[in-house]
Amino acid sequence: MNFYDAWVMAAVATELRSIQGARVQEVIRTSEESYELELYVHGGRRYLLISLSAQDSRLHLLSQKLRRGAEPSPLLLISKKKLVGARLVAVTQPPFERVLRLLFRHPGEGTVELVAETMGRYSNLILLDEKEKILGLHKTVGAKQSRERQLVPGGTYTLPPRPPKTPISSVSAEELSSWLSDAGDAPLWRTLISNVWGVSVPLAKEIAFRATGDAEGRTSDAGTVLKIMTKFVERWARELWEPHVLLRDGAPWGYTPFRYHHLGESAPAGSMSEAIETVVKAAGQSDPYSAARESVRKKIVSVRKRLQRQMDSLRRQVENAEDAQKWKEAADWILAYAGRISRGQKELKVETGEVFRLDPRLSPVENAQQYIKRYKKARRASETVPALMEAVEMDLEYLSQLEYDLDAAQNREEIEAVLASLQEAGFVHEGRKAPRPLPGGPRKFLSPDGFTILVGKNARQNEEITFRRAGAKDIWLHARNVPGAHVVILTGGEPVSEDTIRYAARLAAYYSKARGEKAVDVIYTRRKHVRSVPGGHPGQVIVSKSENVTVLGEKPA
């Protein structure tokens, strides 16, 4: 369960307001997906971590400084210039958003704002000037990634689009009564998630628990539910936080901004940041394979940088190819004006107003030949580069899948399987070996209708269950546009209920990089509509026909 919701962020924002006036001493990049600000305030140093990890995005204060763990990025360089020496003057949070805006004033650079968006795989960190112009950002979002909202250097910042829901602070008794009467057999918490903006899954279940005595309970008593919601909103407005650490057999496993009774045993924490840090540290200590995991992760990071450099080079070649016709025209103009070009001339201006550069050491014919060479090279690139770019894009997608496999690995065998897949793909070359089948095979579940459901544990198992275990009429599912498991319902061609589709879709969402998110799109189709990508890696597929279902990114009960 993802505990870092808008309410937790609001509790952290309250802490940060208590250190307004702090001066930024240093900005560092602690990992590929995290940054840290060292702040000096009240005669001591405080450390603010901003993690943009898809699985654990969060922002909070730390008890001690982290080590540098990644190379400088463009965002880091511009942040150092604009933030070091600046003072924190304001901390604001749009109501019920997982967005925190930190306003800084620098004696030489003026006013800038650092905007942290901790939204799972959509997490980002953006530096703005006083006119909301984007100076730098962690992750560029172009039109290809989002039609609704682009984030690019030089562009104007806008808040993330909000779904058509009623804010928790504006829910009326009439609205709530209508939702409850239309809910049918759905539990109260799901009704709240579907209709109310600003309610996370943990909070929705706590409201249900307080209203019915059961986190999965149902009710038609809109008055009671509204009173409980109103009390939470009042506590937000008055910043009355009660940070707690959730305990299981005495060990920390989660954190909440208030005491959530439906989650069992908990203990109060000194601050929200302290609670978060306690849980994060406990999670790191509980991973006995952290060293092996990080060793493979470094290889993935290195491969990604290499592939990205290849892609950047190919993009430049494409840009050059777009100028190919201009170079052909330049050669033609130079030959046409050859009799008028004098020795040592550096440029040629023609009657159309265009100007072509000349090498003063070469004759007109030799200059024309140079342009023809560039023209032919660009033409060749226009024919070959698109296919090369597609291959690199496919490699990058596979690398994202392997990174997810690494994060999801639960033992040394599964971690070694990721390394072997890197070797098999030719990404790394030391001790090259083919992946061995994982012991125990894919995960198995039983649907509400009694159908067996298979869930792959890594890319190679995805390939196996899709193309060797599933029949043409079985149903195949996958979280849309994110790395994750292939899921197959073994139907034998028999019809399945909507409950089974949703159950399997929840598994596809949970066993993907979208785990923990409120709404995950999952595609599903008959296996006959799924085929391997020609020349692709294990588990990479093309789906010719599918339907979509939106589910919660949590494991079904």
Taking the C-alpha atoms of residue 5 and residue 202, their distance in angstroms, rounded to an integer, is 9
| Amino acid present at 18 | S
Mean pLDDT, residues 94-117 = 96
Which pLDDT belongs to residue 288?
Answer: 72
Across 127-149, b (16+ Cβ under 10 Å) vs e yields bbeeeeebbbbbeebeeeeeeee
**% the chain with pLDDT above 90:** 67
State the chain's mean pLDDT as an integer: 91
Phi, psi of 6 (to 5 degrees): -60, -30
CA separation, residue 150 to residues 134, 147, 156, 336 (Å): 11, 7, 9, 46
Phi, psi of 548 (to 5 degrees): -125, 140
**Using one digit for the tens of pLDDT, what is the confidence trace for 357-389?**
898 999 989 888 988 888 888 777 777 777 888
Which pLDDT belongs to residue 399?
Answer: 94
410, 548 contact by CB (below 8 A) = no
Which pLDDT belongs to residue 510?
Answer: 93
- 15 versus 374: the higher-pLDDT residue is 15
pLDDT at 283 over 90: no
pLDDT at 277 over 70: yes
**Using one digit for the tens of pLDDT, what is the confidence trace for 119-136?**
988 999 999 999 999 999
pLDDT confidence tier of residue 231, bands split at 50, 70 and 90 = very high
Which pLDDT belongs to residue 1?
Answer: 61
Taking the C-alpha atoms of residue 495 and residue 281, their distance in angstroms, rounded to an integer, is 47
pLDDT at 102 over 70: yes
pLDDT at 249 over 60: yes
Which pLDDT belongs to residue 433?
Answer: 59
pLDDT at 2 over 90: no
Start-to-end Cα distance in the chain: 13
Tokens matching residue 371 = 């342009």
**Residue-range domain boundaries for the chain:** 6-137, 166-285, 290-424, 443-551
* CATH topology for the 6-137 domain: ibrinogen binding protein from staphylococcus aureus fold (2.30.310)
Which pLDDT belongs to residue 293?
Answer: 87
Which pLDDT belongs to residue 481?
Answer: 92
Max Cα distance, the chain (Å):
95
Write down the residue that tokens 């698109």 correspond to.
386
Which pLDDT belongs to residue 182?
Answer: 93
**Using one digit for the tens of pLDDT, what is the confidence trace for 418-456?**
999 999 999 988 665 566 667 678 999 999 889 999 999
**Using one digit for the tens of pLDDT, what is the confidence trace for 60-80?**
999 988 776 677 889 999 999
Across 493-522, b (16+ Cβ under 10 Å) vs e yields eeebeeebbbbbbbbbbbbbbbbbbbebeb
Q: Is 280 left (phi over 0), alpha (psi -120 to 50) or beta?
A: alpha
pLDDT at 103 over 80: yes
Q: How crowded is the C-beta side of 473, counted as CA atoms within 13 Å?
A: 6
Which pLDDT belongs to residue 387?
Answer: 83
Provide the H-helix boundaries in 361-452. 364-408, 412-424
Paired with 50 in beta bridges are 35, 59
For the chain, the 3-state helix, strand and coil shares in percent, each to the nearest 5, are 40, 25, 35
259, 242 contact by CB (below 8 A) = yes
**Using one digit for the tens of pLDDT, what is the confidence trace for 153-203?**
999 999 999 889 999 999 999 999 999 999 988 999 999 999 999 999 999
Which pLDDT belongs to residue 437?
Answer: 67
**Using one digit for the tens of pLDDT, what is the confidence trace for 490-522?**
999 899 999 999 999 999 999 999 988 888 999
Mean pLDDT, residues 100-115 = 97
pLDDT confidence tier of residue 324, bands split at 50, 70 and 90 = confident
Dihedral sign, Cα of residue 220, residue 223, residue 224, residue 230: positive
239, 22 contact by CB (below 8 A) = no
Which pLDDT belongs to residue 343?
Answer: 84
**% the chain with pLDDT above 70:** 96
**Using one digit for the tens of pLDDT, what is the confidence trace for 288-312?**
777 788 889 999 999 999 999 998 8
**Using one digit for the tens of pLDDT, what is the confidence trace for 335-350?**
888 888 888 898 888 8
Query: 325-332 long-range contacts, Cβ below 8 Å, gap at least 24?
Result: 325/375, 327/371, 327/372, 327/374, 327/375, 327/378, 328/371, 328/372, 328/375, 330/356, 330/368, 330/371, 331/368, 331/369, 331/371, 331/372, 331/375, 332/368
Taking alpha carbons only, the member of 175, 210, 212 closest to residue 194 is 175
Which pLDDT belongs to residue 520?
Answer: 92
470, 447 contact by CB (below 8 A) = no
Taking the C-alpha atoms of residue 157 and residue 143, their distance in angstroms, rounded to an integer, is 14
Residue 485 burial by Cβ neighbours in a 10 Å radius (0-12, 13-18, 19+):
buried
Q: What does 454-478 look like in DSSP terms, one character per residue?
A: EE-SSHHHHHHIIIII--TTSEEEE
Tokens matching residue 108 = 């030489």
Mean pLDDT, residues 216-235 = 96
Which pLDDT belongs to residue 432?
Answer: 56
